Amino acid sequence: MVMAQGTDVFVLSLGGSLIVPNGGIDTTFLSQFHEFIRKQVSEKKRRFFITVGGGAITRDYQKAAREVRGHDLSDTDADWLGVHATRLNAQLIRAIFQDLADPRVIKHYEIILKIQSPVAIAAGWKPGWSTDYCAVTVCQDYGLTQVVNMTNVDQVYDKDPNKHTDAKPITNISWEDYRKMVGDVWKPGMNAPFDPIASKLAQDLGVTVKIVNGKDLLNLELALDGKPFTGTTIT
């Protein structure tokens, strides 16, 4: 059967920055995440679609290509490097959950797979959008209404907190206001809490996105439980 609709099915957009931060693969985080998902499946009978991002490895490959090729590297080629980085990371996550996960990595979203396993792993599809878009497409394909976006920041801010000391965190924001902040254009390697193209689709479909710091798994569980959590909700 297709993984059923309902409150026990969640879409996680797992940021590649959590898997491969600068400095290599974070096996400490992966071990904790592995234990967390297993506990959610065994104790709470939850099921998960996990879309996996590329993280620093994407930008490393794009930087290398530009250094050798020059700055005329096309956006399409840069995006393909990102797509394949997400697929490598997705295979890593699938291998970690090999006994729980469907053996296929979802990467062609025009095909709706019949998922019987409690975990399904998804990766990048094609140039033009990030795995955030893929996560929203999973919602569209499987009749779900929420994405929990696991990133490396605590919340969305009204301006870049790395550049502005007066940046203020945002707890709740509408898609209309959020899209004014991030714009409508996707660029390869773009680093936004939730990408502009995915945001438009989420708004069109009525999908809610919760943005959380993925390293705080106790806080992630609060978000999954529908309880107050530290992060940002976009509706």
Q: What is the DSSP letter of 72?
A: T
Task: State the pTM of this model.
Answer: 0.92
Domain 9-234 is in which class?
A: alpha beta
Q: Walk along the chain (235 residues) and give the pLDDT tens digit of each residue.
A: 355 444 599 999 999 999 999 878 999 999 999 999 999 999 999 999 999 999 888 889 999 999 998 777 898 999 999 999 999 999 999 999 999 999 999 998 877 778 889 999 999 998 888 899 999 999 998 999 999 999 998 999 988 887 888 999 999 999 999 999 988 887 776 677 898 999 999 999 999 999 999 999 999 999 999 999 999 999 9
Burial 110-127 (b: 16+ CB within 10 A, else e): eeebebebbbbbbbbbeb
Cβ proximity of 47 and 8 under 8 Å: yes
CA distance 176 to 159: 16
